[in-house]
Structure 1
Amino acid sequence: MKKPFNILAICLVLNLSFYAPAYPQKKTVTAKKTIAVATQKNEGTPIPNDPDVKIGKLANGLTYYIRKNTEPKNRAELYLATRIGSLMENDDQQGLAHFTEHMAFNGTKDFPKNEMINYLQKAGVRFGADLNAYTSFDQTVYQLPIPTDSVAVFKNGFKILANWAGKIVMEGDEIDKERGVIVEEDRQRGKNAKERMSKQLLPLLLKDSRYANRLPIGKLDILHSFTHDKIRNFYKDWYRPNLQAVIAVGDFDVNEVERLIKANFSELTNPVNPRPRVAYDLPDNIAPLVKIITDPEQQYNVAQVMYKQRGRIMKTTADYKKSLMYNMINSMLGARLQEIMQKGNAPFIQAQSGYGPYQGGLVPGINAFQSFAVSSSGATLEKALTAVLAENERMSKYGFLQSELDVARKNILAGNEKRLKEKDKTASSSFVQKYLNNFLTGTSIPSTEFAYELTNKLVGEITLEQVNALAKTLITTENQIIIVQAPEKEKAGLPTEAQLLAALKNAGNGVTAYVDNSLNKPLLEQKPAAGKIVNEQKIDQIGVTELTLSNGIKVLLKPTDFKNDQIIFSSFSKGGTSLATDANFQSAETVGLIPQSGVGDFNPSQLNKLLAGNTGRGGAYIDGLYQGYRGSASPKDLETAFQMVYAYATNPRKDAELFNKSISDYKVVLANKSADPGSVFADTVQAVLSSYHKRGMPTNLSDLDKISLDESFNFYKNLFADNSGQTFVIVGAFNMETIKPLIETYIASLPASGQAHNFVDNGIYPPLGKVSKTVYKGLEDKASVELYLHGDYEFNAQNNVQLEALKAALEIKILERLREKESGVYSPRVGLSIKKYPKAHYYFTISFSCATANVEKLIGAALDEVKQIKDSGATADDISKFKSEEQRQIELSLRDNSYWLSYLTNRLKNGEALTQLLDAQQRINNVTVETTRATAQKYLNEDNYIRLVLLPQK
C-alpha cells in the first residue's frame, strides 16, 4: 500500500559522522585563547543533590550512584561510565577508544569470547536493544538493563560491569576479527554526502583544536594495521577506577547493591604512574568563518549561522533560572518561525533558531545560538537566510511580547506539574542520564520536589524585561560561523562569501516589532448535544469495560495505574484512502494535510497558543485502510482532548495558503530526491513490493500537479461525516464515573448513520516468484542489500508466535555469520512484517550494508543460514533466548499504557479475542526445535524471493 502523503522532514542540524552523543563539560584552561564569555556575577545558591540517590566513592577512586526505583518493577539499569574517549588516544591509536568498546563484548576474564552475550540473552537481555555502549570524545559508557527477580543474574550484572572496567582480555584473534566490523560500521554510517561534507566542515567547526584530529571512529588505515599492543596499552592506561563510575537505578535493595559494587570493584587498581587526563578546548575566532560546500548527492540548500559561547554547568539557582529563560526564548522564537512557514510567501521551506549545545554537542562545554534556513534553490538561499536572521534581529531589537511569554510560561509550568505528578512512576532510565551528567560534567542533581518548587518560583519571578535582556546577548560580534551546504547543481546560483557576510550584517535593516496573531475565542462555540451510553459490558480477565453509545460507536476503557497523569486514546473505522477512486487518489493521499492545517477558525499557530499550558491534545488521522482519532491528556485536561476530536470531526479547517505551501515545499523535496542513493533505492523497494501498482508507486512531481485542495478536503469531510463503525480505545489514569459524561458529550454526539463501513482491496500485492533488481546509484564503495521471503498465510496467534520465534532465531544466526564470522557487516537486520488485511501476508526481511565486493558472498552466507534453519530448525539455545526475551518483554509491556492501547486496537481490528494475551505464555512454551523447523520449511520459501541491491553507479 502506498504510504499516505507526508511532507518529509529535513535534517535541521549538520549530521556529522560521529558514533555517540556528547555532553557538556566543565570549563578548562588551555594555552590557546578560548571562546569569550560575557561577564556574569554567579548569583544564586547551590542546588542540592537529590537525597534519594546514594553517592559514594571507593578507596581506588571509583564513584558510584545508587537509587531505588520501582518503575519498571523487577528491573534495574546498570551503567559503567568512564571519563575517557578518543581525545585520550595517541597519534597511532586513533579509533582505539571506540575499538576498545567493541572488544568489551568479545571476551573478558570471567566471560570468554561471546559468553557474556549468550548468558545475558538467555536471561532475557537483548543485544543492541538493551545491552549496548557508546564512545565519544571524552567518555565511553556501557549500559546493561537487567532483571532483579533473578538473584544470580542480578549479581552477575555487577560482575559484567567490573569485567568491562578492568578485565577485558584483548585476544589477538578477536581483535583481528573485529577490524572488519568497525570498518563496516564506518561504511554503514558514512560513505555518503553527509560524511564527505563533514570532512570539509570539521576543520572549520573544530578549528585549531584536538577535536578535529580525534574523531571517535578514528582513521581507517590505523584500524586496519595497528598492532595488538596499541589497543592493550590504551586499555591499560585509561580504564582505571579513578576515571570510572557505576550507576545503578532500579527495583532493588540499596545496601545490597552497595555491597555488590564494593565486592566487584574494590580490587581494581590505578596505574602506578597514571597518564594525566589533559582537558582540551575550542579556541575562539575573531573574524567570521565561512564555508560553502556542494556535493552531487546533497538534496537540500541549507544555510547555517552560529554564534559560539561558553556554556555553564548547572550548579546554582541562578544557572537554573538562566536555563529556564533560554527555554522560553527558544520556544517563542521557534513559534514565530513556525508562523512564517505556514504562509504562502514564506522565504524558506524550513527554518529554526535557538540556543543550546554547539552543533548538538559537537564540543562539550561549548554552546551556541544557531540558526538555519532551507531554501527551494541556491538562488533563493541568501533570501531565506536573511529572513531567518531578520527574525533574530527582530527579537534582539524589539524583544518578545508579554502574550508570547505567557504562552511559554504556561507550557513550562504544565510540564513541571506533570513531572511532579509522575515522580513515583518515573522510569529508571531517566534518572541514569542525570547521574551520568553529574559524573561527567558536575551538573547538579536536584530532586523532583526541589526542581518543582524552584521552577514554579523562578517562572513566577522571571520578567519580560529579563528575558528580552538575555535575548540581546545571543547575537555576538565574535565567534561567528556561516556554513552553506547545497547540491552540486546549485553551485552557480549560491550566494558568495561576501553576500553571506553582508546578509549577516544587514539582516536587521527595516525590521519592525512582532504582532501577535492570537485568536481569543473558545475551541467550540458551544457543547454538542450529548448522546447516551446504551450498554456496558465488562471483560474482567483483562480489566476492560466496553461501552456501546447511542450513535453506535463503541468505546473500550482500560483504567490503569501505570502512570499518574497520563491518558491516551485512539480510534479506528474501516475505509481510509482505499475508498478513493483512481481519479481522485492523488488528492486523497494528501488528506493528511487537512488536520495539519488546524481546526475551525484556528490555524496551527493560533491553536498552539490557545492550548498553552493545557496537556489535552486530539486530532484525526487517515491511513491506507482506516481513519480515526488519536489523542492524549492529563486527567484534568481530558475534556479538551475530546473537544478537539469533536472539532476535527465536525469543523475541519480548509486553508488554501497552508495547503498550497505544503505542496510547493514537497515539490522541492521531490525535485532533489533523485540525488540521494538511499532515496532512489527506497523508491525502488516501494515500487517492487507493490508490483508497480499505480496506487503503490512513490509520489512524483507530475502526481503533485493532479492534487486538488477541494477534492482532498471533501474526501476528509466525507470520511468523518459518518462515524459509524468507529471504535475508541482509552487507556490510562481516569476515573470511570468522571470519564463517562465526557464520552457521552463528545463521542456519543459524533455524527453516525449506523451504516456499515469497509475498506476496499485495490489489489496492491508484492510480486510472486523470484524477483531481482539492482539499482546503480552513488559515488562510494557502499552496497545496500534487502532480501524478502514472503507469502500468504493463515493469520492467527499460534502461527504468529512461531513466525516471531523463527525470526528471532534467524536474526541471531545472521548476526553470528555475517558480522562475527565473515566480519563483513556492522548491524545486519532480520525483520518480520505480518498483516491480516486486505489479505493475510507475511514478509521476512534480511538487510545489511557492506562493501560492493562482498555482496554476493554475504547474500550467499545469509541464504545458507536460511537453508540451515530449514534443515535443522532453531537451536535449543536460540529458542531459550527467544523465550526469555519474550517473557521479559511481556512483563514490561503489561505495565505500559502504550502497549495496551496498541494491543486492544490490534485485536479489535483483526477480529481476535481480547483475552488472547492470557494464553501468550503457553504459545511461547509451544515453540520447539521441531516447530521452528516446520515453520521454516513452510514460510522461508524461496519460491517467493525478492532480491534488491543498491550498488554505486557504474
Structure 2
Amino acid sequence: MTTFQQTVYMLDLPETDKETVDTALFLLREVAGEASFTPSAIESERGIVLSEERTRATPQLRNAEDELGYLLKGDVLPTRLPIGSTDVLKTAPRERFVKFYDAYYRPERATLIAVGDFDVDEMEAKIRSQFGTWKGRGKAGPELPAAKIASRAAETHVFSEAGIPNRVALSWVTAPDLRPDTSAVRSEKLVEQLGLQILNRRLSRIASGENPPFIGAGTGRQDQAERAEITQVVAVAQPGKWQPALASIEQEQRRAVQFGFSQAELDREIAEIRARLVAAVAGAATRPTPALAQALVGNVDEDEVFTTPTDDLALFDQVVKGLTAEKVSAATRSLFTAGGPLVYLTSPTPVEGGEATLLSAYQASHSAAVAAGAVQQAQNWPYQSFGTPGAVAERRELAALGATAIRFANGVRLTVKPTKFRTDEILVSARSLGGQALVPADRPSPVWALSSGAFTLGGLGKMSFEDVQQALTSKVYAANFGVDEDAFVLSGKTRPEDLATQLQLLTAFAADPGFAPTGWERLRALSGTIHDQLASTPGGVLGRDAGALLHAGDRRWAMPTREEMAASTVADAKALLAGPLKTGPIEIVMVGDISVDEAVRQVAATFGALPARQDAALPAAALKTAFPAGTLVRETHQGRADQGLAMIAWPTTDFYADMKQARALNLLGQVLQLRLIDEIREKQGTTYSPNAGHSPSETFKGYGYMAAQIEAPPEKLDGFLADAAKIAADLRDTPIGADELQRAKKPLVENLMRQRLGNEWWLSQLADVQTRPEVGASIEQAQAQYEALTAADLQAVARRYLVDAKAWKLEILPEKK
C-alpha cells in the first residue's frame, strides 16, 4: 500500500511457528533492500500498475485531484499522487527505479512492526539477525522542501463533469502543524474536535428537517500529508440547487463563529465521545492483531505516539473536566480565521457564469446577517417498555455450536452464542422473513434506497432519527438495515451495559418504524447522480446491471432506472416492509460477551413482548430464479476509451443441494483465481487484479454460478474470455497437481479458522439455524469438508459445471463518441 507519505508491506501470518516467522522476515528483508529490478519484472509490472490507474480513473478521482490542486495551489503534493504519472509508468528505464529505490528504501527511513502471539525477546533477536546487516546503498534521497502555504482571500473554483454530485465546500487552508505529538497538543486538538462535532450535529439536524437546503453536510479538519491543515464545511446539494446549500453552510459556520455553542450542546458531545472511549477501554485486551498493526502504521505515518485506549480516556477526562462552551467556541473560532474561505463547487453539468457566479452567490450569503440558533432539547427515550415480557416456550442446547436456541411464546426465536473473542462486545441481528425473495417483480425495487440507509433515516413513529440519536447520546449502539436473500435484517453492535437499549431500538424499528420521507428524499434527489456515476466506468455499469443480468432479467435484482428512482417514494418501502416487520416471523441472533440467561431476559422484554408472529414460510414461487442462457452480452460505459471489463460465468447450483459439492466449487474458484493471476497478471501484465470465485445461493434452489472477470483495455477483453475458457477446459480435462491444490486450499482453510474466532462470522452463520437443520451441519462440517477435498473432487465439479455451451459472457466497452 502506497500513500502520499509511505509505502507499507504487510503480511498477515496464519501461524507464528519458527518456519512461518522466519520466512516472513526473510521476505520483508528482501523487499526492503535486495530488490533486483530485472527488466522482465519491470515490463510485467508496468501493465499491472497502468491497469490499476485505469481502474481508478473515475470522475470522483479527477474531482479529488482538481480540488487538491486548488486548495494547495503552488505546492508539490497535488503533482505527487501515489499512482504516479502514466508517462513515467510507461517509459521510465530500469535505472530510474533503481535510483529511487536506493535513495529511499533505506534502514534509516524504515520501521518494522510486529504484532501477535510471540516471545518479544525471541522476535527481537530474529529481527536483529535478519535486518542488522542492512545498509543503504549510495546517497540518501532528499526530503521535500517545506510547504509554503500562502494566505489567500476568498476565492472560487468550479469543477464540472458528469458522474459527480452537486457539492459545495468552504475551506480554510493553513500551514501544517508540525509540533511534536504531546499531551498538550492533543488536548488542544480535542477541544477543536468537540467544536467541530457540535457544528456537525447542527448541520445534520438541518438535513433532517422539512425541505432541507442540502442532502447532507458536515465539517472536519485534517492534516494533508504534513503539507497543510485544511478545515472544511461541505454540503451535497440537490441537483441544480447548490446556491441554498452554499448559503446554509456559510451562514451556519458564521453562526458558530459569532455566537458560539451552548453548554448543553457541548455536554452531549462529551457524553457520546466518552461512551465510545469507555467501550474501547473495556475491549482493549481483545483488539484484533491486524487492527493493532494498522494503528501502529498510522502512528508512524503521522509521527504520533502510540497510546492505549486507557491513555486516550484519561487524557479526554482531563481535557473535559470543567471545560466550558466558551472555551470550545473560542477554539473553533480560531479554525476559521486564516483568510479565505476557498469556495469550491462541483457540478455534473457546466455552471453558467462559472467562478463569477459562485463568487456572487458566496458574497450574497456572506452579507446576510445571522442570529443565534435555538438549542434543541433532548427528548426522553419513549421505547423502554413493549408490554409484559414474553415467556419462553422452548429452550434447547446446540452443543456442537456452543449456542442455545430459544423460542418465545409469541413465536420469536433467539439464538445465543456467548464468546470471549472481544471483551464487552455484543452483536445482534433481528431477521424478518422476506428479503430479496419477497421484492415484487412487477415494479421497480426499493432495495437500492433501503440498503443505503433510507429505512433507519426514516426514524421511528414517536421520534425522528435525529431525536433518537440525541436521546441515546451516552449509549453505545447501532441501527443498520439490510436485505438478505430471505430476510430483512436489522442489526446493531453494543456493550453489555447498553444491551437493553440496543434491543429496544431494534424492536422499535420493527414494531413502530417511522417511514419518514427524509432519508428517502435525500437518496431520490441523487438518482441522476447515482446513474451518471455508475455509467462513467465499466465497473459501475457492472454494479448497475449485474443483478438482473445474472438472474435472467428477474426484476427483483434490477436497479431502477433514473426515472424510476426519481418517481419513487417511501410508500414503496412501506408496502414491502410493513407486513413482514409487523407480523412475520422474527429470528434474533446474538453473539458476544453475554450470558444466555441475560440475553433471554432482555429479548423477552423487547421482541418477546410483541404480539404473536405468524409461523409463515416464503412462497414456493418466490424461491425461483434462473441463470441466463449461454451467450455474449455487450454493454457500454461513458468513461475513458481505454477502459473495459469482461466477465464469464457458468451456472452451478445452490449451496445446500450438496454442501461438499458447493465447497468443492468454492475451492475450484480459488484455483481459477490463482491461474488467472498467473496468466493474466503475471505473464501478460494485462490487469491489476483478475477476480474469480463461486457464488452459490443459500435460498434459491438450484441457483449459483462460477464467475471470473477483469478490467482491461477493450482490445484485451476477447483474449481474456478465450483464456478463461481455456483454463476452464484444462480444469475439466486435467487433475490439478498437489502443490496447486495446497496453494488454493491452505489459505481458504486458514481464513475459515480465523473467521471462526470472530463474532461477525458467527452472527452471519447462525442465521436460520433453528429452522434449517442443514445450517448447523454446515457450520460443523465446513473445515473437515474443505480439508478432505481432492484433485478428483475438483475435476468432477469442473466437468459437471464448467461447460462451454453454458458459459455466459459479458463485455463492457466504451461508448462510441
TM-score by length of 1: 0.80
Which of 38, 44, 55 pairs up with 1:188? 55
CA change 1:628–1:213 in 2 (3 A) is closer
CA change 1:257–1:622 in 2 (3 A) is closer
1:329 aligns with 2:184: no
Q: Are 1:628 and 1:726, in contact at CA under 8 Å, matched by a contact in 2?
A: no
Q: Deviation at 1:754?
A: 4.2
Mean alpha-carbon deviation: is it higher for 547-556 or for 804-813? 547-556
Which residue number in structure 2 is paired with residue 427 of structure 1? 288
Which residue number in structure 1 is paired with residue 6 of structure 2? 139
Alignment of 1:433-832 (within 5 A): 433-478=294-339, 480-487=341-348, 490-493=349-352, 496-497=355-356, 499-500=358-359, 503=362, 506-507=365-366, 509-524=368-383, 526-576=385-435, 578-579=437-438, 593-618=454-479, 623=484, 625-656=486-517, 658=518, 661-662=521-522, 664-669=524-529, 672=532, 676-678=536-538, 679-704=540-565, 707=568, 709-710=570-571, 712-713=573-574, 715-723=576-584, 725-759=585-619, 761-762=621-622, 763-775=624-636, 777-792=638-653, 795-832=657-694
CA change 1:849–1:833 in 2 (3 A) is same
CA change 1:255–1:501 in 2 (3 A) is farther
Listed one character per residue, the Cα deviations across residues 24-44 of structure 1 (whole Å, up to 9, x for unaligned) are xxxxxxxxxxxxxxxxxxxxx
CA change 1:173–1:721 in 2 (3 A) is closer
Listed one character per residue, the Cα deviations across residues 187-216 of structure 1 (whole Å, up to 9, x for unaligned) are 1211x4345445655543332223244333
Question: How far apart are the structure 1 equivalents of 2:168 and 2:12?
Answer: 41
Listed one character per residue, the Cα deviations across residues 243-274 of structure 1 (whole Å, up to 9, x for unaligned) are 11111111000000110111011111134654
Listed one character per residue, the Cα deviations across residues 559-607 of structure 1 (whole Å, up to 9, x for unaligned) are 1111111111113243246446667765788667444311132101110
Listed one character per residue, the Cα deviations across residues 295-329 of structure 1 (whole Å, up to 9, x for unaligned) are 2x334222222101233556222212122223322
Q: Deviation at 1:877?
A: 1.7
CA change 1:182–1:619 in 2 (3 A) is closer
1:348 aligns with 2:214: yes
Which residue number in structure 1 is paired with residue 80 of structure 2? 214
> Percent of aligned pairs with the same residue?
21
Q: Which amino acid aligns with 1:756?
A: A
CA change 1:696–1:273 in 2 (3 A) is closer
Q: Are 2:444 and 2:564, in contact at CA under 8 Å, matched by a contact in 1?
A: no
Question: What secondary structure is seen at the aligned counterpart in 2 of 1:144?
Answer: coil
Mean alpha-carbon deviation: is it higher for 297-306 or for 383-392? 297-306
Which residue number in structure 1 is paired with residue 166 of structure 2? 301
CA change 1:475–1:150 in 2 (3 A) is same
Question: How far apart are the structure 1 equivalents of 2:630 and 2:63?
Answer: 42
Q: Which amino acid aligns with 1:173?
A: S
Q: Deviation at 1:241?
A: 1.0
Mean alpha-carbon deviation: is it higher for 614-623 or for 524-533? 614-623
Listed one character per residue, the Cα deviations across residues 505-546 of structure 1 (whole Å, up to 9, x for unaligned) are 743723222223344223226451111112221122221111
Which residue number in structure 2 is paired with residue 375 of structure 1? 237
Q: Deviation at 1:758?
A: 1.9
Question: What secondary structure is seen at the aligned counterpart in 1 of 2:804?
Answer: coil
Q: Are 2:536 and 2:637, in contact at CA under 8 Å, matched by a contact in 1?
A: no
Mean alpha-carbon deviation: is it higher for 690-699 or for 701-710? 701-710
Give aligned pairs, total.
810
Which of 719, 736, 748 pairs up with 1:886? 748
Q: Are 1:690 and 1:696, in contact at CA under 8 Å, matched by a contact in 2?
A: yes
CA change 1:149–1:273 in 2 (3 A) is closer
Q: Are 1:567 and 1:734, in contact at CA under 8 Å, matched by a contact in 2?
A: yes
Listed one character per residue, the Cα deviations across residues 852-907 of structure 1 (whole Å, up to 9, x for unaligned) are 22222222222222222222133322211222213322321222111111111165
CA change 1:829–1:664 in 2 (3 A) is closer
Question: How far apart are the structure 1 equivalents of 2:573 and 2:78?
Answer: 51
CA change 1:281–1:580 in 2 (3 A) is closer
Question: How far apart are the structure 2 equivalents of 1:273 and 1:659?
Answer: 57
Question: What secondary structure is seen at the aligned counterpart in 2 of 1:568?
Answer: strand
Question: How far apart are the structure 2 equivalents of 1:188 and 1:673?
Answer: 14
Question: How far apart are the structure 1 equivalents of 2:565 and 2:720?
Answer: 40
Q: Which amino acid aligns with 1:728?
A: I
Q: Are 2:169 and 2:344, in contact at CA under 8 Å, matched by a contact in 1?
A: yes
Q: Are 2:216 and 2:237, in contact at CA under 8 Å, matched by a contact in 1?
A: yes
Structure with greater proportional helix content: 2
Q: Deviation at 1:620?
A: 5.9
Question: What secondary structure is seen at the aligned counterpart in 2 of 1:496?
Answer: helix
Q: Are 2:649 and 2:708, in contact at CA under 8 Å, matched by a contact in 1?
A: yes
Q: Deviation at 1:715?
A: 4.6
Q: Are 2:417 and 2:596, in contact at CA under 8 Å, matched by a contact in 1?
A: no
Alignment gaps of 5+ in structure 2? none
Q: Deviation at 1:945?
A: 2.1
Question: How far apart are the structure 2 equivalents of 1:934 and 1:442?
Answer: 55
Alignment of 1:279-294 (within 5 A): 279-294=145-160
Which of 100, 106, 110 pairs up with 1:240? 106
1:895 aligns with 2:738: no
CA change 1:352–1:500 in 2 (3 A) is farther
Q: Deviation at 1:502?
A: 5.2
Q: Which amino acid aligns with 2:642?
A: D
Q: Are 2:749 and 2:787, in contact at CA under 8 Å, matched by a contact in 1?
A: no
Question: How far apart are the structure 2 equivalents of 1:211 and 1:532?
Answer: 64
Alignment of 1:169-208 (within 5 A): 169-190=36-57, 192-197=58-63, 200-201=66-67, 203-208=69-74
Alignment of 1:53-132 (within 5 A): none
Which residue number in structure 2 is paired with residue 158 of structure 1? 25
Q: Are 2:441 and 2:554, in contact at CA under 8 Å, matched by a contact in 1?
A: no
Question: How far apart are the structure 1 equivalents of 2:303 and 2:395?
Answer: 56
Q: Deviation at 1:664?
A: 4.4
Q: Which amino acid aligns with 1:443?
A: E
CA change 1:364–1:664 in 2 (3 A) is same
Q: Are 2:418 and 2:593, in contact at CA under 8 Å, matched by a contact in 1?
A: yes
Q: Deviation at 1:825?
A: 0.8
CA change 1:909–1:461 in 2 (3 A) is farther
Question: What secondary structure is seen at the aligned counterpart in 2 of 1:147?
Answer: coil
Question: What secondary structure is seen at the aligned counterpart in 1 of 2:689?
Answer: coil
Q: Deviation at 1:914?
A: 1.4
Q: Which amino acid aligns with 1:850?
A: A
Q: Are 2:153 and 2:341, in contact at CA under 8 Å, matched by a contact in 1?
A: yes
Q: Which amino acid aligns with 1:891?
A: M
